[in-house]
Amino acid sequence: MKKPISEAVILMAGSGSRLRRIGETSPKPLLSLGGRSLISYTLAALVKAGVKTIYAVIGFESDLLRTGIMALIPAETDLVWIENPEWQKQNGVSLLAAAHSVKAPFFLTMGDHIFEDSIVDLLLRNANPKELNLAIDRKLDCIFDLDDAMKVQTCKERLIAIGKNLEDYDAIDTGLFVCSPEIFAYLEKAKRDGDCSLADGVRLMAADGKVRAIDVGNAWWQDVDSAETLEHARKLIATKSNG
């Protein structure tokens, strides 16, 4: 992309119930990975890419998140807290909470994902700011917990289907996007009984041919939402640190 992206939205409003069931008491973004909090890796990658304003959508245990994250933000970066009072609903509702805050193309990611810095750079170089751009991983044999992964089907550079239960798929959603503000209108359209997931909005945009799939190649990433993925992420960070 010729014009840098200066804004990012991070969704971190949920409760992390699967990890809480096995005794983890910290909010997921504050879990320890390699001697640092999980969210610190995402924040560092976004700041390195030139992001100046980060919108953090919070809900469950928001006071703990505020306290834990404030110390991680560089002085030159603005952190804007967005409270989602409906945090029990799906993540599409959390993104909609930011609709009146972001106006320009923006990064979107999740508070429980980690990823190699090069994926952010890849999106910057290849994203079309007028469309929805999703970083995808075609290395299906390398995906940890493939059954629970968000699967996508592509046709060349276009995403044509998305869903955890897709039977015909050729890549995995990494949870890192470059979005145009148009995503908000599609999420509103996707709502059913006042609720929607991010994937619901992506699916509608894909039906209109507005979602680009950008392959991360050999770059690594991991989402953390269970005891097994947390342990895998810790091993991944340890391996990369030692490498």
**What is 97-165 written as a DSSP string?**
TTTTT--S-EEEEETTEEE-HHHHHHHHHH--TTSEEEEEE--GGG-TTGGGS-EEEEETTEEEEEETT
Least confident of 9-23, 36-50, 171-185: 9-23
pLDDT in tens, 122-138: 999 999 999 999 999 99
Nearest Cα neighbor of 83 from 109, 101, 59, 107 is 59
**pLDDT band for position 2 (cuts 50, 70, 90):** low
Which residues on adjacent β-strands are paired with residue 54? 8, 79
For the entire predicted model, the pTM comes to 0.95
24: pLDDT strictly greater than 80 = no
Please spell the DSSP secondary structure of 115-126, one letter per residue. E-HHHHHHHHHH
pLDDT in tens, 211-228: 999 999 999 999 998 888
DSSP 38-94: HHHHHHHHHHHTT--EEEEEEBTBHHHHHHHHHTTS-TTSEEEEEE-TTTTS-HHHH
Per-residue pLDDT of 89-127, as tens digits, reads 999 999 999 999 998 999 999 999 999 999 999 999 999
